[in-house]
Amino acid sequence: MEAYMKIRRSLPAKTLRTAVISSILFGLVAIIIGLGLYGSALVRQSIRRAFVTAGKAADTIAGDADIIRFSKDVMAVYRSLTPEQRQMAGTPEYRRFYAGLEEAGQPDGAHEEIVHTLRHFVIDVDYVYLAMYDRETCAMVYIADSDAEEALAPGAWESVTMAGMEKFLNWNGEGMLYDIDNTEKYGWMCTAGYPIRDENSDIYAYVLVDISVNSVISEMKIYALQIGIALLAVTILITWLVTRRIRKTVAEPIDAIADAAVAYVQDKRAGAAVSNHFSGLNIHTRDELEHLSRIMADMERDLADYEESVTRMTAEKEHVSAELGLATRIQASMLPHIFPPFPDRSEFDLYATMDPAKEVGGDFYDFFLIDDNHLGLVMADVSGKGVPAALFMMASKIILQSCAMLGKSAGETLTRMNEAICSNNQAEMFVTVWLGVLEISTGRLTCANAGHEYPVIRRVGGDFALYKDRHGFVIGGMDGVKYKEYELLLAPGDKLFLYTDGVPEATSADGELFGVERMIGALNQVKDEAPEEVLKGVRRAVDGFVKDAEQFDDLTMLCLAYRGCGGEAGGSPE
For 39-78, what is each residue's pLDDT tens digit?
788 888 888 988 999 889 888 888 788 888 888 999 999 9
Q: Given pLDDT bands bounded at 50, 70 and 90, which one contains residue 503?
A: very high
Reported as a pLDDT band with limits 50, 70 and 90, residue 130 is very high
Nearest to 377 by CA among 531, 270, 211: 531
Alpha helices by DSSP H, 204-337: 214-246, 252-270, 288-334
Q: What is the pLDDT of residue 570?
A: 39
pLDDT confidence of residue 9: 65
Residue 310 reports pLDDT greater than 50: yes
CATH 3.60.40.10 domain locations along the chain: 336-562
What's the average model confidence in pLDDT over 267-295?
Answer: 73
For the residues 413-421, what does the mean pLDDT come to? 93
More confident residue, 19 or 366: 366
Q: In the predicted model, is pLDDT for residue 412 greater than 60?
A: yes
Q: Cα(543)–Cα(521) distance, rounded to whole angstroms? A: 14
- Taking all residues of the chain, what is their mean pLDDT, rounded to a whole number? 84
The amino acid at residue 408 is: K
What's the whole-number mean pLDDT along residues 87-115?
75
Match domain 336-562 to its CATH number in 3.30.70.20, 3.60.40.10, 3.40.50.1360, 2.60.40.10. 3.60.40.10
Q: What is the pLDDT of residue 105?
A: 42
**pLDDT-above-70 percentage for the chain:** 87
Burial letters for 425-457: b for 16+ Cβ neighbours within 10 Å, e otherwise?
beeebbbbbbbbbbebeebebbbbbbbbbbbbb
Residue 453 and residue 522: Cα distance in Å, rounded?
A: 17
Domain with CATH 3.30.450.20 in the chain: 13-217
* 240 pLDDT higher than 90: no
- Residues 179-197 have pLDDT tens digits of 988 877 777 888 999 999 9
Question: What value does the mean pLDDT take over residues 367-377?
Answer: 94
Q: Which residues contact 368 (CB under 8 A, 6 or more apart)?
A: 336, 375, 376, 401, 404, 405
Give the residue among 186, 179, 193 at the shortest CA–CA distance from 212. Answer: 186
| Pairwise CA distance, residues 92 & 399, whole Å | 91
Q: Supply the pLDDT for residue 221.
A: 77
SS3 category, 476: coil
Q: How confident is the model at residue 173 (pLDDT cuts 50, 70, 90)?
A: confident
Contact 544, 525 (CB under 8 A): no
Query: What strands, in cross-sheet order, belong to the sheet with 363-371?
Result: 363-371, 374-382, 431-439, 444-450, 486-489
What pLDDT shows up at residue 573?
34
pLDDT at residue 255 greater than cutoff 70 = yes
**Residue 482: what pLDDT?**
94
pLDDT score at 373: 94
Sequence-ordered list of residues with C-beta below 8 angstroms from that of 210, at least 6 positions apart, any chain = 50, 125, 126, 127, 128, 186, 189, 190, 191
Q: Which whole number is the average pLDDT over 274-279?
A: 69
Whether 461 and 527 have beta carbons less than 8 Å apart is answered as: no
> At 316, is the pLDDT very low, low, confident or very high (cuts 50, 70, 90)?
low
- Please say whether the beta carbons of 115 and 145 come within 8 A: yes
Instruction: Please say if the pLDDT value at position 336 is more than 70.
Output: yes
Does 323 have pLDDT greater than 70?
no
- The pLDDT assigned to 106 comes to 46
Q: State phi, psi for 85 to the nearest 5 degrees.
A: -70, -35
Determine the average pLDDT of the residues in 160-185.
Answer: 88
DSSP label at 507?
B
More confident residue, 227 or 167: 167
Q: Are 194 and 174 in contact (CB under 8 A)?
A: no
Q: Is the pLDDT of residue 569 over 60?
A: no
pTM, entire model = 0.47
> Which tens digits make up the pLDDT trace of 431-484?
999 999 999 999 999 999 999 999 999 999 999 999 999 999 999 999 999 999
Going by C-alpha positions, the residue among 116, 74, 70 that lies closest to residue 95 is 74
Which residues make beta-bridge pairs with 211?
190
d(CA 78, CA 83): 10
pLDDT given at position 572:
37
pLDDT band, residue 306 (cuts 50/70/90): low
Using DSSP's 3-state secondary structure scheme, residue 62 falls into coil
- CATH no., domain 13-217: 3.30.450.20
Distance CA 114, CA 209 (A): 14
User: Distance of CA 552 to CAs 357, 395, 510, 557, Å?
Assistant: 6, 23, 14, 16
**Phi then psi for 272, rounded to 5 degrees?**
-75, 155
| Residue (of 53, 229, 248, 87) closest to 158 by Cα position | 87
Region 562-572: mean pLDDT is: 63
Cβ-proximal residues to 62 (8 Å cutoff; 6+ apart), any chain: 196, 197
If phi > 0 it is left, if psi is from -120 to 50 it is alpha, else beta; for residue 283 that is beta
- Candidates 136, 138, 140; CA nearest to 127 is 140
Please calculate the CA angle 155-124-186 and round it to the nearest 5 degrees.
50
- Give tens-digit pLDDT for 506-543: 999 898 999 999 999 999 999 999 999 999 999 999 99
